[in-house]
């Protein structure tokens, strides 16, 4: 599976290949199951997000661009959605409910950090 992401901060096109047997570089055995594997999961998740230039979204609230800049706003929304998807795919089903209602990747990350 091939994906391309425009880095809205630097306007650089990022292209990568993902194996269909893994999602975003994480093998399924690395899905967060609770406090027993949180540290290993965190390290793997940070590496995946860093490889995809998305780590800023879990380290801080990345401000939403002004509505007047449609291209930047669109790319910001894509990045937020992508990080949210990576995080949701990276946890076991029983943990997903803890992330319900969290709008940003940073709030999702903070919730998991506080829980485990």
For 2-54, write each residue's pLDDT tens digit: 444 555 554 444 444 443 334 555 566 679 999 999 999 999 999 999 999 99
Each residue's pLDDT tens digit, 82-92: 999 999 999 99
* pLDDT confidence of residue 106: 98
| Domains in the chain, number | 1
Higher-confidence position of 28 and 67 = 67
- What letters, b where the CB count within 10 A reaches 16 and e where it falls short, cover 41-77? bbebbeebbeebebbbbbeeebeebeeeeeebeebbe
User: What is the model's pLDDT at position 30?
Assistant: 79
User: How many other CB atoms sit within 10 Å of the CB of residue 35?
Assistant: 9
Domain that holds residue 82: 2-115
Q: pLDDT digits over 106-115, tens only? A: 999 999 999 9
What is this structure's pTM?
0.76
């Amino acid at each position: 599976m091939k994906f391309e992401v425009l880095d809205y901060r630097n306007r650089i096109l990022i292209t990568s290949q993902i194996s269909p047997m893994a999602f975003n570089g994480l093998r399924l055995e690395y899905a967060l199951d609770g406090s027993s594997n949180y540290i290993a999961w965190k390290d793997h998740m940070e590496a995946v997000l860093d490889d995809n230039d998305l780590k800023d979204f879990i380290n801080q609230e990345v401000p939403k661009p002004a509505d007047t800049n449609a291209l930047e706003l669109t790319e910001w929304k894509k990045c937020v959605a992508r990080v949210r998807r990576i995080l949701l795919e990276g946890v076991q089903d029983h943990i997903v409910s803890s992330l319900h209602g969290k709008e940003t990747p940073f709030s999702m990350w903070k919730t998991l950090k506080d829980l485990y």
